[in-house]
Amino acid sequence: MANALDRIRVGSAPDSWGVWFPDDPQQVPWERFLDEVAQAGYPWIELGPYGYLPTDPARLTDEIAKRELKVSAGTVFTGLHRGPSVWESTWEHVSQVAALTQAMDAKHLVVIPSFWRDDKTAEILEPPELTGEQWAHLTKGMERLGHEVKEAYGLDIVVHPHADTHIDTEDHVERFLDSTDSELVNLCLDTGHYAYCGGDSVKLIETYGERIGYLHLKQVDPEILADVVANEVPFGPAVQRGVMCEPPTGVPELGPVLEAAQKLGVELFAIVEQDMYPCEPDRPLPIAERTRKFLRSCGA
């Protein structure tokens, strides 16, 4: 048995059930997700795309309470590198999600930067590299978001480096952290996305430990990833090829990641997210149960 990781709180998310959109006929109904995530042994969940789970706080509280679940975070997508002109539309979306997240007694809001390449069609929407001015918009915008979300809703934002966004590689992640205030902005380290973009999660935790506010546990299949990188396959089709795989078959090894996180000496959520969109409705539960068992073997 591995050392007890008593500071790590394990959960899962709609993403591990193939849910990417608020409403999609290919996705499992929300009731089934809640039933199965509880059955698999995860006490914590994320809200997933806003509108997938019920958005009425009283109803959602009732639905999660009867399954003995709790919410760790909500998620928003943002394009703050575009500058002050997008602030109002961003805030409208953020405040909706933040209000529900707060009503669920969660303390985190996961913030994902917008895609430069369409994750369905592969259309290049913007250059993959930001200009200096866009970097300034991005970092100042995230600091403002962190400040406003804390003031209005009492939540901490954790920015999620993500494939096919401007915060992806080690260079971009470090530049982002070096140019933002840790009082306002910290990181949701997604081990799969970081590996997908060539980063080393253990090294990031050891180097920027005070900035790690939240974890997403995910692995990539190195063989599929090599092909994805060589052929410049966009993220959506890469997921359909199975680039995000079931632990412990991929990289990075999650045991050392969790041990490095435990050493930080703070309470951290570690939410399992195995991207599988679209997926057969009967696939997620057995994978979720095996993954939970695997994480227990790591001491989580």
| Cis, bond preceding 49 (omega within 30 deg of 0) | no
Give yes or no for a contact between 97 and 155, defined as CB atoms under 8 angstroms apart.
no
Beta-ladder partners of 11: 44, 271
Tens-of-pLDDT digits for all 300 residues of the chain?
457 899 999 999 999 999 999 999 999 999 999 999 999 999 999 999 999 999 999 999 999 999 999 999 999 999 999 999 999 999 999 999 999 999 999 999 999 999 999 987 889 999 999 999 999 999 999 999 999 999 999 999 999 999 999 999 999 999 999 999 999 999 999 999 999 999 999 999 999 999 999 999 999 999 999 999 999 999 999 999 999 999 999 999 999 999 999 999 999 999 999 999 999 999 999 999 999 999 999 999
Q: Which residues contact 166 (CB under 8 A, 6 or more apart)?
A: 81, 113, 116, 128, 129, 130, 134, 138, 172
Q: Which domains does the chain have, with CATH numbers?
A: 8-297 (3.20.20.150)
Q: What is the pLDDT of residue 119?
A: 81
Give yes or no for a contact between 285 and 39, defined as CB atoms under 8 angstroms apart.
yes
Rounded to whole angstroms, the Cα distance separating 148 from 81 reads: 17
Phi–psi pair at 193, nearest 5 degrees: -65, -40
Give yes or no for a contact between 112 and 161, defined as CB atoms under 8 angstroms apart.
no
| Token pair listed for 61 | 């509280």
- Tally of CB atoms within 10 A around 29: 10
Amino acid at 31: E
**Torsion 81-273-10-198 (CA) sign:** negative
Q: What is the pLDDT of residue 4?
A: 86
Rounded to whole angstroms, the Cα distance separating 97 from 85 reads: 21
Q: What is the pTM of this model?
A: 0.97
Rounded to whole angstroms, the Cα distance separating 240 from 177 reads: 31
**Torsion 141-162-20-266 (CA) sign:** negative
Give yes or no for a contact between 217 and 245, defined as CB atoms under 8 angstroms apart.
no
Q: What is the pLDDT of residue 2?
A: 59
